[in-house]
């Protein structure tokens, strides 16, 4: 073996540190490949611009569900593509249409009747210098009591959180995730 004498000659701490660094870089590489795969695999199904035309709410779903089975909602500066990380909402088993609505500047509502919310954060903040630090609050508005397992429809009054502002700040998302049907 030609590598054995070289490894033996190398000072152990440097060799150990190098191996550790290679491991760290491998982890970073795996993360980068994973993000890239998600990026390639997702396609945009809805994009709704905020009333002040600064922010887009982008709803994406996977092309191939083997890599990731979830649909994601991202907030991005207007016109930018959805990233592969940092979704404000991750939802599975969406078998009915949903809608994304800007109820006012800085307030986004996600209305759905079927789906299991796996991950949700109610705020998004942009550090973009051009945007000047925008805050958005996101709200979930399930129209049934048990949207994941199925349940009775809620009374209409309990769904009405805020008055929607002028159109077209809303976008209907047709059935995006047919896991429950296939």
Partner 1 sequence: MPSHLRRLNFAILFALGIASPFLGRALAVFAMPARQQEVARVTSPDSRHDAVTIRYQPLLPYMRASVEVYVVPRGGQVAPSADPVLLATRAVGVQSTWKDDRLLEIHYSRARVEGFTAIWPSIANNPPMVEIRLSPPTTGFSFAAEGDS
Burial class (CB in 10 A: 0-12, 13-18, 19+), 51: middle
Q: Measured between alpha carbons, how far apart are the two ends of the chain, in Å? A: 55
User: Distances in Å between the alpha carbon of 106 and those of 49, 109, 136, 180?
Assistant: 11, 10, 4, 33
Q: Nearer Cβ to partner 1, position 24 or 40?
A: 24
Binding map of partner 1 across residues 110-149, x = CB under 8 A, - = no contact: ------xxxxxxxx-----------x-x-xx-x--xxxxx
Q: Nearer Cβ to partner 1, position 81 or 105?
A: 105
Q: Nearer Cβ to partner 1, position 16 or 44?
A: 16
Q: How far is the CB of 96 from partner 1 (least distance, A)?
A: 15
Give the C-alpha separation, 6 to 103, whole Å: 66
Span interacting with partner 1, options 9-17, 35-43, 45-53, 55-63, rule CB under 8 A = 9-17
Q: Nearer Cβ to partner 1, position 44 or 77?
A: 77
Q: Residue 49 in contact with residue 77, Cβ under 8 Å? A: no
Length of the chain: 182
Q: How far is the CB of 77 from partner 1 (least distance, A)?
A: 17
Give the C-alpha separation, 112 to 136, whole Å: 19
Residues that bind partner 1 (CB under 8 A): 4, 7-8, 12, 15-16, 19-28, 30-31, 106-107, 116-123, 135, 137, 139-140, 142, 145-149, 151, 161-162
């Amino acid at each position: 073996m030609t590598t054995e004498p070289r490894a033996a000659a190398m000072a152990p701490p440097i060799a150990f540190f190098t191996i550790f660094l290679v491991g760290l870089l491998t982890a970073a590489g795996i993360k980068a490949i994973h993000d890239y795969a998600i990026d390639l695999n997702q396609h945009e199904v809805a994009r709704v611009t905020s009333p002040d035309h600064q922010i887009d709410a982008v709803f994406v779903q996977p092309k191939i569900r083997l890599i990731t089975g979830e649909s994601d909602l991202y907030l991005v500066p207007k016109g930018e593509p959805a990233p592969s990380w940092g979704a404000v909402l991750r939802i599975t088993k969406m078998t009915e249409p949903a809608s994304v609505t800007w109820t006012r500047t800085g307030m986004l509502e996600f209305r759905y009747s079927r789906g299991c919310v796996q991950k949700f954060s109610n705020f998004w903040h942009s550090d973009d210098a051009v945007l000047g630090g925008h805050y958005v609050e996101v709200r979930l508005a399930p129209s049934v009591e048990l949207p994941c397992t199925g349940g009775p429809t809620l009374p209409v009054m309990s769904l009405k959180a805020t008055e929607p502002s002028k159109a077209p700040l809303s976008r209907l998302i047709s059935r995006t995730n047919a896991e429950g049907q296939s």
